[in-house]
Amino acid sequence: MARPAWPALPFPRDFFPDLASARRIGRRYLASLPSSLDKNAILGASPALAKAIEASPQVRAALLRRSVAEDFRRGDIAIVDGWVLSASEARLCALAVLD
């Protein structure tokens, strides 16, 4: 069964101190992916990230840190303009563009 469309995502300062920079990274990351990807596909590929986004602000940061650490442990990374990011970080930046 397909997951329903995600609502608009909150992008408070606890996600990005500088939203403009996150969107620049997100645009570069998205440029490296198939153009058919949308918010649902990105979140579907990263259940831990989806869980963190849906969490209350009180637990969100801890879940995001855990997701990032787990990505690095598994070698699930993205290289964007020479920066090595966890897949969760890159996807979160992409979501800032797509939202």
Helices (H), 1-99: 19-31, 39-44, 47-54, 57-74, 87-98
Estimate to the nearest angstrom the gap between the alpha carbon of 5 and the chain centroid: 16
Decide if 22 contacts 29 (C-beta within 8 A): no
pLDDT for 37 equals: 82
Domain limits for position 87: 19-98
pLDDT for 1 equals: 45
Task: Give a yes or no: residue 1 inside a domain.
Answer: no
Task: Kindly report, residue by residue over 2-48, the tens digit of the pLDDT.
Answer: 555 555 666 666 678 888 999 999 999 999 988 778 888 888 888 88
Task: Give a yes or no: residue 12 inside a domain.
Answer: no
Task: Give a yes or no: residue 76 inside a domain.
Answer: yes
Domain count, the chain: 1
